[in-house]
Structure 1
Amino acid sequence: MTNYREILRLDSLGINKVNIAASCSCSRNTVANVLQKAKENNLSYPLPDELSDKQLSEILFPPSEFKPTYKMPDYDYVHREMAKSGVTLTLLWLEYCDACRESGEIPYQSTQFNKYYNDYLKVTNATMHINHKPGEILQIDWAGDVAHVINTDTGELISAYVFVSSLPYSGYSYVEAFFSMEQESWINAHVNAFKYYGGITRIIQCDNLKTGVDKHTRNEVILNKSYQEMAEHYGTAIIPCRVRKPKDKAHAEGTVGIISTYILAAIRNQQFLSLTELNESIKERLEIFNNKPFQKKEGSRFTAFTEEKLFLLPLPQRQFELSKWKIATVGPNYHISVDNQNYSVPYEYIKHKVDVRITKNVIEVFFDGNRICSHPRLYGRFGQYSTVESHMPSNHQKYVSWNAERFIKWAEKIGVNTTFIIRFFLNRYKVEQQGYKSCMALLKLADKYSVERLEAACTKVLTYTLTPEYKNIQLLLQTGQDKITESDIATAQSSDTEHFSFTRGADYYKRSDD
């Protein structure tokens, strides 16, 4: 599905239609059509927060509009068949039309069929020289060679992976080493590179590595969610290279080779005891590299960069904060769990799956692309709860002004056993607030039956079970069994024995001499 929101965002950054089409994996005509429809509907980026992707699609292209979809020929197959004797484009077009009719799809006419084949030949057989514009593209990659840091405890060598970024227009580069190529290192490398350049290019060109691109096919490009979020924060566009097409970022590939020789090879015999020490040495060599005079023209990479820097986009006021995403299901207690801490969600979303954005300080919850709530992130002991009153059902909100300490203090005024049962009610639920209703109902019995009788009922029920229920105590009070003591039971048993004893006496059983 075409990402209309991304097209509008990139257009607002001044990206031309060709690059927007490349970033969003669609045609230039599609980009032009979307922008025209947005103009007709008075839509511009940023869009309203409450406007979902589905609503945006329906506004731009109502369901009533019908747009035919043509079947794109397999030009890899066409090219192979054209190498065979006697095969012509006309013959292949007729076969293509027959195949489309059998599958119920719409074929291109011969003119378009031939045009797309010529485009295919140009792309696959020709190498084009690209004149880069200043401040337009930043090309990035991981160097194939690695550096090493010595483990001070074991003496073993730890691999350090080298991130390389380069501006094609000036050749100005940034290099930094990391202990891993995971998501956190990948994002931090970008943030540090932007800070080093003092600005941002309109386009970032990268490989199809998993930390940046989740999926790259002929029809679509799906970026890693954190990577896409970083691009939106800095107002740039991510355009991955085509799969197995290193010429798409030939400048970065060349720079990687040069840096591997000029920097990494130069420090190969040095020993580093920390990553900081390694990066300081890389930085020294990098400054020499960027200020080294060109061989075939005047100036250096640094002098060329001073001109290009004027065309870079300004850095945002706030540095990007790396986030992680996960999918969570809202539980019956209207909370989700993140790293063994619990955060409330409006109770209407119970049993729904939500997207959770996790940063160092904030937890944000999204449903269908819309943010529904956020919480300060909890740290410390496991099992803590962050609960917002408005997220609770109305029958739970009645008890929000109460807390465990208040219930316990009230119970202590009644008696020890009442306090024990109140503590039991508070601890039996995952969410403490769910026990407030039972606590309130139990303590209110003192108003109806007296404090003494409630304590007596709690004492008696604990002789039967250590997991009492509110109904057990209520039943004891209703039937008056809380008033019956052990002595009363003994007296009752004694009176029953006397009532049913024999009263005839011994004389009654004497035998007569007669």
Structure 2
Amino acid sequence: MSKLRKVIKLYCQGQSKLQISATTSISRNTVKKYIRVFSGLKTTWEQINQLPDKELDELFCKEPEAIVDDRLLPLHDFLKQQEKRLRQRGVTLLRLWNEYHAQYPEGFSRTSFYHQYNLWKKRVHPSMHMAHKPGDKMFVDYTGEKLQVVDADSGEVKTMEVFVAILGASQLTYVEAVESQRVEDFIGCCENAVRYFGGAPNAIVPDNLKSAVIRSNRYEPKLNENFEAFADYYGMAVLPARAYKPKDKALVEGAVKITYIRIFASLPEKLSTSLEELNARIRALLEVHNRTAFKGRSYSRQEQFDEMERAALQPYQKNVLNVGPHQ
């Protein structure tokens, strides 16, 4: 007996979905799907059992026919034009629906608009589940892989860490090679990122790096005093990413992956002869990355930053802290 038949038979015998799932080793969601289809057929177990396996599979496993709705194309065009506005302060989905309804009075109702928006967002931004407000957060981390420089005189090859920072709303990215993850190098990189962005966000989110967080705690993490002083100096709160909460650091992890593709893989095979030369090469590739249009979009990170996030940042202090290397 196929597992599908067994699910229907056990259901007709009065067993619960949980019991059926355990007995057949089929996930509860699949069990629920089979039972939902069976209930909708308004038939009996005896009639179902008479069908050959092929017909049974077609009946229970076929994909639902796509429903074509003439209102979808105008809605998607509207959302594509307005998506960046939702990241601006004070702009809500209700306000967006009011504008949509005024423009398309025969369009979707408010509830359907919300539902279609969520479907559209998942399709367009499948990995972005968090909405970030302009000027709100800067996420920072180091790449797992490292880069190398070779001393022109001695031929000694040195390994360099690679720091990555990304702004939440615009996704403008900063990348820098540095000698270590020591606190002075880490703070220096964070400050260089602030200077590159031209301003400081409201908060900085490190991934529990030892240079930033001495002891991780869900409610009161103990921060490195020098790093905390640096953040205070620029008016930034420190919000360490929570352990076992992948969404807290998804954005910077995505930036690290893109760094591998667009910077690491694009560097010349010949090693740089100094850290300064390596960072000059990185900066050139970084500019290309930030000015390349998002996939499926007509605008880039730089354009999005200029339009919606630059003005939301806090002006950074002109006097420079002597906490680390500055390129």
Q: 1:236 corresponds to which letter in structure 2? A: M
**What's the secondary structure of 2:208's corresponding residue?**
coil
**What's the secondary structure of 1:148's corresponding residue?**
strand
Alignment correspondent of 2:313: 312
Alignment correspondent of 1:267: 267
Aligned residues: 197
Alpha-carbon distance in structure 1 between the residues aligned to 2:313 and 2:147: 31
How far the C-alpha of 1:319 sits from its partner, in A, is 2.1
State the structure with bigger RCO (CA 8 A, min sep 6), 1 or 2: 2
| Two-structure CA RMSD over aligned residues (Å) | 1.7
Q: 1:245 corresponds to which letter in structure 2? A: K
Alignment correspondent of 1:8: none
Alpha-carbon distance in structure 2 between the residues aligned to 1:219 and 1:131: 23
Alignment correspondent of 1:202: 202
Q: 2:207 corresponds to which letter in structure 1? A: D
**What's the secondary structure of 2:266's corresponding residue?**
coil
Alignment correspondent of 2:323: 322
Q: 1:97-496 counterparts in 2 under 5 A?
A: 129-267=129-267, 269-307=269-307, 308-322=309-323
**Is the Cα contact below 8 Å between 1:246 and 1:253 reproduced in 2?**
no
Encode CA deviations 1:427-449: one digit per residue, 9 max, x unaligned. xxxxxxxxxxxxxxxxxxxxxxx
How far the C-alpha of 1:179 sits from its partner, in A, is 1.2
Q: 1:322 corresponds to which letter in structure 2? A: V
**Is the Cα contact below 8 Å between 2:132 and 2:169 reproduced in 1?**
yes
Alignment correspondent of 1:451: none
Alpha-carbon distance in structure 2 between the residues aligned to 1:219 and 1:314: 29
Q: 1:129 corresponds to which letter in structure 2? A: H
Q: 2:284 corresponds to which letter in structure 1? A: E
Q: 1:137 corresponds to which letter in structure 2? A: K
Encode CA deviations 1:121-170: one digit per residue, 9 max, x unaligned. xxxxxx99211101101011101111110023432321011110011211
**Is the Cα contact below 8 Å between 1:174 and 1:193 reproduced in 2?**
yes
Structure 1 residues 208 and 270, CA gap change in structure 2 (3 angstroms) = same
How far the C-alpha of 1:210 sits from its partner, in A, is 1.0
Structure 1 residues 223 and 241, CA gap change in structure 2 (3 angstroms) = same
Q: 2:248 corresponds to which letter in structure 1? A: D
Alpha-carbon distance in structure 1 between the residues aligned to 2:272 and 2:193: 23
Structure 1 residues 194 and 243, CA gap change in structure 2 (3 angstroms) = same
Give the TM-score taking structure 1 as reference length.
0.37
Alignment correspondent of 2:54: none
**What's the secondary structure of 2:259's corresponding residue?**
helix
Encode CA deviations 1:323-362: one digit per residue, 9 max, x unaligned. 9xxxxxxxxxxxxxxxxxxxxxxxxxxxxxxxxxxxxxxx
Encode CA deviations 1:27-52: one digit per residue, 9 max, x unaligned. xxxxxxxxxxxxxxxxxxxxxxxxxx
Deviates more, 1:145-154 or 1:302-311: 145-154
Alpha-carbon distance in structure 1 between the residues aligned to 2:198 and 2:216: 30
How far the C-alpha of 1:258 sits from its partner, in A, is 0.5
**Is the Cα contact below 8 Å between 2:185 and 2:323 reproduced in 1?**
no
**What's the secondary structure of 2:144's corresponding residue?**
strand
**What's the secondary structure of 2:288's corresponding residue?**
helix
**Is the Cα contact below 8 Å between 1:137 and 1:203 reproduced in 2?**
yes
Alignment correspondent of 2:30: none
Give the TM-score taking structure 2 as reference length.
0.58
Structure 1 residues 227 and 152, CA gap change in structure 2 (3 angstroms) = same
Structure 1: gaps of 5 or more residues: 1-126, 324-514
- Structure 1's consecutive aligned runs of 4 or more residues displaced over 3 angstroms after TM superposition are none
Alpha-carbon distance in structure 2 between the residues aligned to 1:214 and 1:162: 21
Alpha-carbon distance in structure 1 between the residues aligned to 2:300 and 2:164: 18
Structure 1 residues 171 and 243, CA gap change in structure 2 (3 angstroms) = same
Alpha-carbon distance in structure 1 between the residues aligned to 2:152 and 2:245: 41
Alignment correspondent of 2:74: none
Alpha-carbon distance in structure 2 between the residues aligned to 1:184 and 1:168: 24
**Is the Cα contact below 8 Å between 1:292 and 1:301 reproduced in 2?**
yes
Question: Based on CA coordinates, which of the two structures has the bigger radius of gyration?
Answer: 1
Alignment correspondent of 2:111: none
Alpha-carbon distance in structure 2 between the residues aligned to 1:172 and 1:232: 23
Alpha-carbon distance in structure 1 between the residues aligned to 2:317 and 2:274: 31
**What's the secondary structure of 2:147's corresponding residue?**
strand
Alpha-carbon distance in structure 1 between the residues aligned to 2:305 and 2:180: 29
Structure 2: gaps of 5 or more residues: 1-126
How far the C-alpha of 1:310 sits from its partner, in A, is 0.7
Q: 1:87-102 counterparts in 2 under 5 A?
A: none
Deviates more, 1:209-218 or 1:243-252: 243-252
**Is the Cα contact below 8 Å between 1:147 and 1:268 reproduced in 2?**
no
Q: 1:222 corresponds to which letter in structure 2? A: K
How far the C-alpha of 1:269 sits from its partner, in A, is 1.1
How far the C-alpha of 1:268 sits from its partner, in A, is 5.3
Encode CA deviations 1:350-387: one digit per residue, 9 max, x unaligned. xxxxxxxxxxxxxxxxxxxxxxxxxxxxxxxxxxxxxx
